[in-house]
Chain A
Amino acid sequence: MTPHAENVHWLFATGFLVLGLCQLSEALVGTAVWEQRRWRAYLWPSTAFGMGLFMWPVMVFFTSSTLHMLAHGAWAQVMMLAGAAQLGLVRGKLKSPRWELTMALAFFVSGAAFLIHEQNGWFFARSAFLHHALGWTLIAGSVFPLMRAFRPGSAPLRGGYAMTMIAVAVLLYCDRDLAPIFGHLSQFAQ
Chain B
Amino acid sequence: MSTQVASQFDSLVRRSYRGYVVGALGPLTALAGVIWALTQPYRLTLFHPIGHGFWSLLAEGPLLVVLVGVFFHLVLAPGLREDLGQAELEEHA
Q: Which residues of A contact B (CB under 8 A)?
A: 1-4, 7-8, 10-11, 13-14, 17-18, 21-22, 24-25, 28-30, 32-34, 36-37, 40, 43, 173
Contact B80 A34 (CB under 8 A): yes
Contact B68 A14 (CB under 8 A): yes
Q: Within the complex, which residue of B18, B21, B61, B87 is in contact with A173, where a contact is CB–CB below 8 Å?
A: B61
Contact A25 B76 (CB under 8 A): yes
Contact A173 B65 (CB under 8 A): yes
Contact A29 B83 (CB under 8 A): yes
- CB of A58 to closest CB in B, whole Å: 12
Contact B29 A17 (CB under 8 A): yes
A17-B67 Cα distance, complex, nearest whole Å: 11
- CB of A32 to closest CB in B, whole Å: 7
Contact A17 B53 (CB under 8 A): no
Contact A21 B61 (CB under 8 A): no
A130-B54 Cα distance, complex, nearest whole Å: 25
Count how many pairs of residues, one from A and one from B, have CB atoms less than 8 Å apart in the complex: 74
A182-B61 Cα distance, complex, nearest whole Å: 21
Q: Which residues of B contact A (CB under 8 A)?
A: 18, 21-22, 25-26, 29, 36, 53-56, 58-61, 64-65, 67-68, 71-72, 76, 79-80, 83-84, 87
- CB of B59 to closest CB in A, whole Å: 4
A4-B18 Cα distance, complex, nearest whole Å: 40
Contact A25 B22 (CB under 8 A): yes
- A3-B68 CB under 8 A given contacts A10-B61, A29-B84, A33-B83: no
A10-B58 Cα distance, complex, nearest whole Å: 10
Task: Report the nearest B residue to A1, measured CB to CB.
Answer: B54
A59-B55 Cα distance, complex, nearest whole Å: 17
A14-B18 Cα distance, complex, nearest whole Å: 24
Interfacial chain B residues near A8, Cβ < 8 Å = 55, 59
Interfacial chain A residues near B64, Cβ < 8 Å = 10-11, 13-14
Interfacial chain B residues near A36, Cβ < 8 Å = 83, 87
Interfacial chain B residues near A28, Cβ < 8 Å = 18, 21-22
